[in-house]
Amino acid sequence: MDNERYLRWRDRKFGQSPVSIDELIVEVGDLHALTPGEHAAILDRCKRSNLAIYASRTIDPDMRRFGRQFGLESLDANWLSGEDGVSRIAVSKDGQGYIPYTDKPIKWHTDGYYNPPERKIRAMLLHCVRSASLGGENRLMDHEILYCLLRDENPDFVRALSEPDAMTIPERMGENHVARKAETGSVFSFDSNENLHMRYTARTRSIAWKQDGITLAAVAAIETALSSPSPYIFHVKLEPGMGLICNNVLHDRAGFSDETRLLYRARYYGRVYYRS
Protein backbone atom coordinates (compact mmCIF):
# COMPACT_ATOMS: atom_id res chain seq x y z
CA MET A 1 0.00 0.00 0.00
CA ASP A 2 1.56 3.29 -1.04
CA ASN A 3 2.16 5.91 1.60
CA GLU A 4 -0.64 8.27 0.72
CA ARG A 5 -3.24 5.52 0.85
CA TYR A 6 -1.64 4.13 3.98
CA LEU A 7 -1.93 7.45 5.82
CA ARG A 8 -5.62 7.72 4.96
CA TRP A 9 -6.23 4.10 6.01
CA ARG A 10 -4.24 4.61 9.19
CA ASP A 11 -6.11 7.77 10.21
CA ARG A 12 -9.40 6.00 9.67
CA LYS A 13 -8.23 3.03 11.77
CA PHE A 14 -7.06 5.10 14.72
CA GLY A 15 -10.03 7.44 14.43
CA GLN A 16 -12.60 4.68 14.79
CA SER A 17 -10.90 2.01 16.92
CA PRO A 18 -12.39 1.40 20.34
CA VAL A 19 -9.97 1.91 23.21
CA SER A 20 -11.85 0.05 25.92
CA ILE A 21 -13.29 -3.43 26.11
CA ASP A 22 -16.66 -1.99 27.17
CA GLU A 23 -17.05 -0.45 23.73
CA LEU A 24 -16.61 -3.88 22.18
CA ILE A 25 -19.16 -5.81 24.22
CA VAL A 26 -22.63 -6.19 22.72
CA GLU A 27 -25.50 -7.59 24.79
CA VAL A 28 -27.71 -9.88 22.75
CA GLY A 29 -30.56 -12.31 23.40
CA ASP A 30 -30.82 -15.39 21.19
CA LEU A 31 -27.64 -16.01 19.21
CA HIS A 32 -29.56 -17.91 16.54
CA ALA A 33 -31.95 -15.07 15.85
CA LEU A 34 -30.27 -11.72 16.40
CA THR A 35 -32.46 -8.67 16.17
CA PRO A 36 -31.51 -6.14 13.46
CA GLY A 37 -30.18 -3.86 16.22
CA GLU A 38 -28.02 -6.57 17.77
CA HIS A 39 -26.72 -7.63 14.37
CA ALA A 40 -25.86 -4.05 13.45
CA ALA A 41 -24.10 -3.47 16.77
CA ILE A 42 -21.86 -6.53 16.30
CA LEU A 43 -21.05 -5.56 12.71
CA ASP A 44 -20.22 -2.02 13.79
CA ARG A 45 -17.56 -3.30 16.22
CA CYS A 46 -16.18 -5.68 13.59
CA LYS A 47 -15.93 -2.89 11.03
CA ARG A 48 -14.11 -0.61 13.43
CA SER A 49 -11.78 -3.07 15.10
CA ASN A 50 -12.16 -6.44 13.33
CA LEU A 51 -13.69 -7.91 16.47
CA ALA A 52 -16.73 -7.88 18.72
CA ILE A 53 -17.55 -9.60 22.00
CA TYR A 54 -21.13 -10.66 22.52
CA ALA A 55 -22.82 -11.50 25.79
CA SER A 56 -25.85 -13.68 25.08
CA ARG A 57 -28.40 -15.86 26.82
CA THR A 58 -27.54 -18.80 24.54
CA ILE A 59 -25.13 -21.09 26.33
CA ASP A 60 -24.94 -23.96 23.84
CA PRO A 61 -25.43 -22.53 20.35
CA ASP A 62 -25.26 -24.00 16.88
CA MET A 63 -22.14 -22.11 15.84
CA ARG A 64 -22.67 -22.62 12.12
CA ARG A 65 -26.12 -21.09 12.35
CA PHE A 66 -24.79 -18.13 14.32
CA GLY A 67 -21.93 -17.57 11.85
CA ARG A 68 -24.21 -17.63 8.81
CA GLN A 69 -25.85 -14.43 10.05
CA PHE A 70 -22.52 -12.73 9.30
CA GLY A 71 -21.91 -14.42 5.97
CA LEU A 72 -19.53 -16.94 7.55
CA GLU A 73 -19.98 -20.14 5.55
CA SER A 74 -16.76 -21.89 4.59
CA LEU A 75 -15.41 -23.59 7.68
CA ASP A 76 -11.86 -24.79 8.03
CA ALA A 77 -12.25 -28.20 9.61
CA ASN A 78 -9.13 -29.77 11.03
CA TRP A 79 -8.43 -33.28 12.19
CA LEU A 80 -9.37 -32.39 15.77
CA SER A 81 -12.64 -30.61 15.01
CA GLY A 82 -15.98 -32.33 15.19
CA GLU A 83 -17.98 -33.58 12.21
CA ASP A 84 -19.66 -30.19 11.94
CA GLY A 85 -16.26 -28.48 11.57
CA VAL A 86 -16.57 -26.85 15.00
CA SER A 87 -13.84 -27.60 17.56
CA ARG A 88 -14.58 -28.21 21.20
CA ILE A 89 -11.71 -26.62 23.07
CA ALA A 90 -11.37 -28.41 26.40
CA VAL A 91 -8.71 -30.24 28.34
CA SER A 92 -8.65 -33.57 26.55
CA LYS A 93 -6.39 -36.52 25.96
CA ASP A 94 -7.72 -36.67 22.39
CA GLY A 95 -5.88 -33.41 21.77
CA GLN A 96 -2.63 -35.38 21.83
CA GLY A 97 -0.90 -32.75 23.88
CA TYR A 98 -1.65 -29.84 21.52
CA ILE A 99 -1.67 -26.74 23.66
CA PRO A 100 -5.28 -25.62 23.00
CA TYR A 101 -6.44 -28.93 24.50
CA THR A 102 -4.49 -28.43 27.72
CA ASP A 103 -4.84 -25.93 30.57
CA LYS A 104 -1.60 -24.18 29.61
CA PRO A 105 -1.27 -20.58 28.46
CA ILE A 106 -1.13 -19.93 24.70
CA LYS A 107 1.09 -17.13 23.43
CA TRP A 108 0.00 -14.39 21.04
CA HIS A 109 -0.96 -15.69 17.60
CA THR A 110 -3.47 -15.56 14.81
CA ASP A 111 -5.36 -18.75 14.04
CA GLY A 112 -4.14 -21.09 11.32
CA TYR A 113 -0.74 -19.44 10.93
CA TYR A 114 0.52 -22.83 9.73
CA ASN A 115 -2.14 -23.15 7.01
CA PRO A 116 -1.21 -22.97 3.31
CA PRO A 117 -2.20 -19.78 1.43
CA GLU A 118 -5.30 -21.37 -0.08
CA ARG A 119 -6.60 -22.06 3.44
CA LYS A 120 -6.03 -18.67 5.03
CA ILE A 121 -8.17 -18.21 8.14
CA ARG A 122 -9.85 -14.83 7.79
CA ALA A 123 -12.50 -15.09 10.50
CA MET A 124 -12.93 -16.94 13.75
CA LEU A 125 -15.64 -17.51 16.34
CA LEU A 126 -15.07 -18.47 19.94
CA HIS A 127 -17.98 -19.23 22.26
CA CYS A 128 -17.84 -20.02 25.96
CA VAL A 129 -20.04 -22.84 27.24
CA ARG A 130 -18.25 -23.22 30.59
CA SER A 131 -15.53 -20.93 31.92
CA ALA A 132 -12.73 -21.85 34.29
CA SER A 133 -13.14 -20.70 37.88
CA LEU A 134 -9.60 -19.38 37.73
CA GLY A 135 -7.81 -18.12 34.61
CA GLY A 136 -8.48 -18.70 30.91
CA GLU A 137 -8.70 -14.99 30.03
CA ASN A 138 -7.88 -13.75 26.53
CA ARG A 139 -6.02 -10.71 25.32
CA LEU A 140 -7.03 -9.38 21.94
CA MET A 141 -5.58 -6.88 19.51
CA ASP A 142 -6.72 -5.76 16.08
CA HIS A 143 -3.85 -6.87 13.82
CA GLU A 144 -4.44 -3.83 11.59
CA ILE A 145 -3.58 -1.57 14.54
CA LEU A 146 -0.41 -3.53 15.14
CA TYR A 147 0.49 -3.10 11.46
CA CYS A 148 0.09 0.68 11.83
CA LEU A 149 2.21 0.79 14.98
CA LEU A 150 5.00 -1.11 13.24
CA ARG A 151 4.81 0.90 10.02
CA ASP A 152 4.85 4.16 11.95
CA GLU A 153 7.91 2.99 13.86
CA ASN A 154 9.78 1.85 10.76
CA PRO A 155 8.24 1.21 7.32
CA ASP A 156 10.96 -1.36 6.66
CA PHE A 157 9.48 -3.55 9.41
CA VAL A 158 6.21 -4.11 7.55
CA ARG A 159 8.07 -4.33 4.22
CA ALA A 160 10.21 -7.17 5.59
CA LEU A 161 7.21 -8.94 7.11
CA SER A 162 5.34 -8.72 3.80
CA GLU A 163 8.04 -10.71 2.00
CA PRO A 164 6.89 -14.16 0.89
CA ASP A 165 9.76 -15.86 2.74
CA ALA A 166 9.49 -14.01 6.07
CA MET A 167 8.26 -16.92 8.12
CA THR A 168 8.45 -20.70 7.82
CA ILE A 169 6.55 -23.22 9.88
CA PRO A 170 8.53 -26.45 9.65
CA GLU A 171 6.83 -29.70 8.68
CA ARG A 172 5.06 -31.64 11.38
CA MET A 173 5.86 -35.31 11.43
CA GLY A 174 3.29 -38.00 12.18
CA GLU A 175 4.47 -41.44 13.20
CA ASN A 176 6.00 -42.37 9.88
CA HIS A 177 4.96 -39.62 7.56
CA VAL A 178 4.80 -35.87 7.09
CA ALA A 179 1.49 -34.90 8.73
CA ARG A 180 1.75 -31.29 7.53
CA LYS A 181 4.30 -30.01 5.09
CA ALA A 182 6.42 -26.95 5.80
CA GLU A 183 4.69 -23.62 5.04
CA THR A 184 6.62 -20.52 4.06
CA GLY A 185 4.88 -17.20 3.64
CA SER A 186 4.54 -13.60 4.61
CA VAL A 187 3.25 -12.31 7.92
CA PHE A 188 1.25 -9.47 6.37
CA SER A 189 -0.81 -9.56 3.18
CA PHE A 190 -3.56 -7.27 1.91
CA ASP A 191 -6.49 -8.38 -0.20
CA SER A 192 -7.90 -6.24 -3.00
CA ASN A 193 -10.26 -4.48 -0.58
CA GLU A 194 -7.40 -3.33 1.65
CA ASN A 195 -8.22 -5.87 4.33
CA LEU A 196 -5.13 -7.07 6.09
CA HIS A 197 -4.38 -10.72 6.84
CA MET A 198 -1.74 -11.65 9.39
CA ARG A 199 0.06 -14.93 10.04
CA TYR A 200 1.83 -14.84 13.35
CA THR A 201 2.84 -16.82 16.38
CA ALA A 202 4.96 -15.70 19.31
CA ARG A 203 6.11 -19.28 19.76
CA THR A 204 9.83 -19.71 19.55
CA ARG A 205 9.77 -23.44 18.79
CA SER A 206 8.53 -24.85 15.50
CA ILE A 207 8.99 -21.59 13.66
CA ALA A 208 11.87 -20.28 11.55
CA TRP A 209 12.08 -16.56 10.84
CA LYS A 210 14.03 -15.32 7.86
CA GLN A 211 17.51 -14.74 9.20
CA ASP A 212 18.17 -11.18 8.19
CA GLY A 213 18.58 -8.14 10.39
CA ILE A 214 15.45 -6.25 9.43
CA THR A 215 13.12 -9.28 9.71
CA LEU A 216 14.47 -10.15 13.14
CA ALA A 217 14.21 -6.52 14.24
CA ALA A 218 10.61 -6.44 13.01
CA VAL A 219 9.78 -9.61 14.95
CA ALA A 220 11.33 -8.06 18.06
CA ALA A 221 9.20 -4.94 17.51
CA ILE A 222 6.04 -7.09 17.41
CA GLU A 223 7.06 -8.75 20.68
CA THR A 224 7.66 -5.35 22.28
CA ALA A 225 4.31 -3.99 21.07
CA LEU A 226 2.40 -7.02 22.35
CA SER A 227 4.08 -6.99 25.75
CA SER A 228 3.74 -3.24 26.40
CA PRO A 229 0.68 -1.61 27.95
CA SER A 230 -1.59 -0.33 25.18
CA PRO A 231 -5.14 1.01 24.93
CA TYR A 232 -5.49 -1.25 21.88
CA ILE A 233 -4.86 -4.49 23.78
CA PHE A 234 -8.14 -5.70 25.25
CA HIS A 235 -8.49 -8.10 28.17
CA VAL A 236 -11.56 -10.26 28.47
CA LYS A 237 -12.70 -13.37 30.25
CA LEU A 238 -15.41 -15.12 28.31
CA GLU A 239 -18.15 -16.38 30.61
CA PRO A 240 -20.94 -18.82 29.63
CA GLY A 241 -22.97 -17.37 26.75
CA MET A 242 -20.22 -14.93 25.79
CA GLY A 243 -18.13 -15.14 22.67
CA LEU A 244 -15.80 -13.52 20.21
CA ILE A 245 -16.48 -12.87 16.53
CA CYS A 246 -13.50 -11.55 14.65
CA ASN A 247 -11.51 -11.27 11.47
CA ASN A 248 -8.77 -13.47 12.96
CA VAL A 249 -7.26 -10.81 15.17
CA LEU A 250 -4.22 -11.37 17.39
CA HIS A 251 -5.06 -13.15 20.63
CA ASP A 252 -3.59 -15.15 23.46
CA ARG A 253 -4.94 -17.22 26.35
CA ALA A 254 -3.96 -17.35 30.00
CA GLY A 255 -3.49 -20.72 31.67
CA PHE A 256 -6.37 -21.91 33.81
CA SER A 257 -7.19 -24.38 36.55
CA ASP A 258 -10.52 -25.97 35.85
CA GLU A 259 -10.85 -29.08 33.73
CA THR A 260 -14.50 -28.44 32.94
CA ARG A 261 -13.80 -25.32 30.84
CA LEU A 262 -15.39 -25.67 27.38
CA LEU A 263 -15.27 -23.33 24.41
CA TYR A 264 -16.48 -23.85 20.85
CA ARG A 265 -14.30 -22.57 18.04
CA ALA A 266 -15.07 -22.17 14.36
CA ARG A 267 -12.61 -20.94 11.73
CA TYR A 268 -13.58 -19.60 8.34
CA TYR A 269 -11.88 -18.80 5.03
CA GLY A 270 -14.08 -15.74 4.49
CA ARG A 271 -14.28 -12.54 6.51
CA VAL A 272 -17.18 -11.22 8.58
CA TYR A 273 -19.52 -9.89 5.93
CA TYR A 274 -20.41 -6.22 6.03
CA ARG A 275 -23.64 -5.38 4.30
CA SER A 276 -23.47 -1.74 3.35
**Residue 188 near residue 161 (C-beta atoms within 8 A):** yes
Contacts of 16 (CB under 8 A, 6+ apart): 47, 48, 49
Nearest-approach distance from CB 249 to Fe ion, in angstroms: 10
> Residues in contact with Fe ion, total (CB under 5 A)?
1
Using the contact rule CB under 5 A, the part of the chain among 82-90, 107-115, 152-160, 180-188 near Fe ion is 107-115
Shortest Å distance, C-beta 138 to Fe ion? 9
Q: Report, in Å, the least distance between residue 78 CB and Fe ion.
A: 12
Q: Nearest to Fe ion by Cβ — which residue?
A: 111
Contact of 202 with 108, CB cutoff 8 Å = yes
Burial class (CB in 10 A: 0-12, 13-18, 19+), 247: buried
Q: Taking the alpha carbons of 57, 59, 63, 65 in that order, is the dihedral positive or negative?
A: negative
Residue selected from 17, 67, 90, 111 as contacting Fe ion according to rule CB under 5 A: 111
Instruction: Considering the complex, state which of residue 160 and residue 222 has its C-beta at the smaller distance from Fe ion.
Output: 222
* Shortest separation between residue 3's beta carbon and Fe ion, angstroms: 32
Q: Which is nearer to Fe ion, 109 or 151 (CB)?
A: 109
Does residue 76 bind Fe ion (CB under 5 A)? no
Backbone angles phi, psi at 73, to 5 degrees: -120, -50
Residues in contact with Fe ion by the rule CB under 5 A: 111
